[in-house]
Structure 1
Amino acid sequence: MQRLAMDLRMLSRELSLYLEHQVQVGFFGSGVGLSLILGFSVAYACYYLSSIAKKPQLVTGGESFSRFLQDHCPVVTETYYPTVWCWESRGQTLLRPFITSKPPVQYRNELIKTSDGGQILLDWFDNDNSKSYMDASTRPTILLLPGLTGTSKESYILHMIHLSEELGYRCVVFNNRGTAGENLLTPRTYSCANTEDLETVIHHVHSLYPSAPFLAAGVSMGGMLLLNYLGKIGRKTPLKAAATFSVGWNTFACSESLEKPLNWLLFNYYLTTCLQSSVNKHRHMFVKLIDMDHVMKAKSIREFDKRFTSVLFGYQTIDDYYTDASPNRRLKSVGIPVLCLNSVDDVFSPSHAIPIETAKQNPNVALVLTSYGGHIGFLEGIWPRQSTYMDRVFKQFAQAMIEHGHELSNM
């Protein structure tokens, strides 16, 4: 209660100062209007601090991992204060791309070949000016996996690279086939169930820097792909640890939620058109295998997956594909430390589908569940341009695993 009162006084004072500078004196010359605004502000502050600002729920499968995170990644146990004027799920999700900055990053591009004759575009941030790790052979490397239609240009990826630069780490972004401007050499794109391309990338990066600590972070679909890979491979991975953000745990539940009228209007239809645009650029590669006219008439992600993705990857039905794509069924087999940040109000990943009980059974898994934050939102502060709660979790966890990860084996 003492902390709550202190937070209330601080927030009330900030609101008062803000109004003092922003409100025109002429309009509130009598002081009555200003008093009403201040009264409302205090009432809102009380509601915000009692019902909105909350500590995340930390779910771990082992006491050792829990203590490790509390000691070295304290942000996961601290109160998360969503942006006071934008804490609702859809608002956070929609506004983040427009509000957050895009730190400038100079990439080095690399095309690598795949066993089927295809190619994958990797974007490297080498961080050659790192003062903490001047030896490139041992400089920590973080592999970043963007979301469904994302690339290395996404703001959340650029923020992760900026934070990694501060820590002295190197980053490499795995762009899914056909998404970043490179040509498709074979009639194949990507899916979050098929981990072959990710395995190729991980082994390629590790072969270049075998002595460097190696981590991975996946966002949304990138996180689903990463978890499916870890669930399949267990401990036999060169990755030291991994983090995921706003993962869709159960593809059926995700699809059902996104097909609700408002969510379809705000998110589903737009993402479907992005997927269609992405494959239509390479239409000539698929016309002999898939009815592309039918694909271009899809009105939802589920319809697109039914007509394109599941067919391209050889599934008999869309249900077969969605079952294989859901990472909740593989979480119990993850063999390295993994931190998974989700918001329980995320319409892309409904809270009832988050595998809390499964996570409790795996000592390598930690779920960090905030009450608010939306999908890849996690905005905080009055004007959240430079940093989000998700950024702070990423930075602290990466640093904790690089600098103190050895402690986990001793706990």
Structure 2
Amino acid sequence: MLQFLTGRSDIVFHHHSSSLSLTPKNETPINWADVCKNAIPSTYTRPMFFNGHLQTIRILLDNPELPIYYKRWIFQQSNKLFEGEFAVDFTIRSLQDSERQSPPEITTMFTKEEFEHIGSLDSKPMLVVLHGMNGGSGEAYLRRSLMPFINGGQEWEACVVNSRGCAGSQLGNGILYNARSTWDLRQVVEWLQKKFPNRPLFALGFSMGANMLVHYLAEEGQNCPIRAAAICSNPWNLEVLSHHLQSSFFMREIYSRGLTASLKKFLNTHEQKIITNPDIDPDEIARIQYLHEFDRAIQKPMWKYPTETVYYREASSVNPLLSVRVPIFALNSEDDPLSPQMGLPIEEAKANPYVVLVVTSFGGHLGWFQQDGSRWFIQAFFEEFPVRVIIMQKYVSTTQQIGE
């Protein structure tokens, strides 16, 4: 009750009792939990958007004009098992005069000649970003998050790996993406290592993109090229989420149906490519109303799962979190309607010294709006975190085994 009256959120850190030790180079020793705690403001007070639903719905009204611009290149997937194309948007500091419009388009295309000459031996930190479900590089939460990195005097570079067919891109064939797709991200990271061999790589994932990122980090294990990662509003346990979305009329009709309406627009846009997949039934697509029906009609047959619930279990990132071997900083809210509290990996975070999970009482899904319209998670994660991560580069993380 006191929390509700004051509007002040609890902020709880979940981490291993012996958080990842960072071995100093002639400086004071520090651990990963301390780095994260030092980056998080001590308080978060929610505004009149007093619950997770209002915080989440408020996102739809957030459309700021921000000086975040991109140049795009279409990559062809080199892995024949997952062939197709996907768009990667690279941040640029400003638009050339020839590209300026009113209002300016935030994304323009690289020419072939420009892209052939891309690459550098500089040592600027490079951020690789993954967006939420059916989103893209133009999402307000993503562009707001990039501001401290790109326009905050930090000298970062960044790119956004758009999921196939998202952010105005075309779908090259009938192979889509799913909640654990890592192949496009892996190709981009390998390409960045070749083109920018001296740049330390970091990663940032939102919502479903956070889920994908955890899978990638886990698959790479000790040899992961990403030095550290931040993830925000990860749904974590997709089976729990599916049950939650079907648990009440409100959740089913507002969230499940609303999310599915967006996905159906995606299907309509790319219908001719999608129906080339012989495992996809166009009649079943026409009957889709809810998210679990989308997964039953699309994800289950496309990826050869026997049921959509098996897909949810395989694609959840709770268990893979235990296999992550790079520092990872995760943020969730207890009142997030799209990442239920019962699905949060509290014990898994405590079992892995590379993980710090921060849970607030309020914030919704990718919300955390404050009285002035600003976003607390931007301040918490990204205004201080870039500084902390750069400081961390002075240190060498020690290898720790689970259970130490």
* TM-score, normalised by the number of residues in structure 1: 0.81
1:125/1:170 contact within 8 Å kept: yes
**CA distance in structure 2 between the partners assigned to 1:225 and 1:110 by the alignment:** 21
**Maintained 8 Å contact 2:222/2:325:** yes
Q: In structure 1, the residue corresponding to 2:226 is in which secondary structure? A: coil
Name the amino acid aligned to 1:320: V
Q: Deviations over 1:103-160 (max 9, x none)?
A: 132211111110234111011004489xxxxx87211111111100111110011112
Matches within 5 A, 1:173-322: 173-259=160-246, 260-288=248-276, 289=278, 290-322=280-312
Instruction: Find the residue that maps to 2:214 and give its secondary structure.
Output: helix
2:176 paired with 1:160: no
Q: Which of 54, 62, 65 matches 2:9?
A: 54
- Report the 3-state secondary structure (helix = DSSP H, G, I; strand = E; otherwise coil) of the residue aligned with 2:339: coil
Aligned to 1:147: 132
The SS at the match of 2:287 is: coil
Letter in 2 for 1:60: H
* Conservation of the 8 A alpha-carbon contact between 2:32 and 2:354: no
Verify the 8 A CA contact 1:80 1:389 in the aligned structure 2. Answer: no
In 1, Cα distance between the equivalents of 2:337 and 2:352?
A: 26
Query: Separation in 2 of the partners of 1:62 and 1:209?
Result: 36
Larger CA deviation: 324-333 vs 386-395:
386-395
- Runs of 4+ with deviation above 3 angstroms: 46-52, 62-73, 126-129, 405-408
> Which has the larger Rg?
1
Secondary structure at the aligned position of 1:206 is classed as helix
Q: Is the 8 A contact 2:19 2:354 kept in 1?
A: no
Alignment match, 1:383: 372
CA distance in 2, matches of 1:136, 1:310: 43
Query: Which has the larger displacement, 120-129 or 209-218?
Result: 120-129
Structure 1 residue runs of 5 or longer lacking an equivalent are 1-45, 130-134
Question: Shift of the alpha carbon at 1:282?
Answer: 1.7
Question: Is 2:370 the partner of 1:401?
Answer: no
Aligned: 1:76 with 2:36: no
Compared CA separation, residues 402 and 292, structure 1 to 2 (3 A): farther
| Structure 1 residue 397: Cα displacement | 2.3
Give yes or no for contact 1:245–1:390 (8 Å, CA) kept in 2: no
Shift of 1:365: 0.3
**Aligned equivalent of 1:114:** 77
- CA distance in structure 2 between the partners assigned to 1:368 and 1:360 by the alignment: 12
d(CA) in 2 for partners of 1:136 and 1:335?
Answer: 27
**Alpha-carbon distance in 2 for matches of 1:128, 1:103:** 11
Consecutive unaligned residues of structure 2, counting only runs of 5 or more, are 21-29, 96-119, 400-404
Q: Deviations over 1:353-397 (max 9, x none)?
A: 1111111110000000000101000112x221x443344313322
**Aligned residue pair count:** 358
Q: In terms of mean alpha carbon deviation, does 311-320 or 208-217 score higher?
A: 311-320
RMSD: 2.3
Aligned to 2:346: 356
Structure 1 residues 73-131: Cα deviation after superposition (integer angstroms, max 9, x where no partner): 52436121112x113000000002314624132211111110234111011004489xx
Instruction: State percent identity of aligned pairs.
Output: 27
Query: Is the partner of 2:88 in helix, strand or coil?
Result: strand
Question: For 1:375 and 1:123, how far apart are their aligned partners in 2?
Answer: 24
Normalised by the size of structure 2, how large is the TM-score? 0.82
Deviation at 1:49, TM superposition (A): 7.6
For residue 112 of structure 1, give the secondary structure of its aligned residue in structure 2: strand
| Deviations, residues 26-68 of structure 1 (Å, cap 9, x unaligned) | xxxxxxxxxxxxxxxxxxxx95586531341001124445854
Q: In structure 1, the residue corresponding to 2:319 is in which secondary structure?
A: helix
Cα distance in structure 2, aligned partners of 1:286 and 1:102:
34
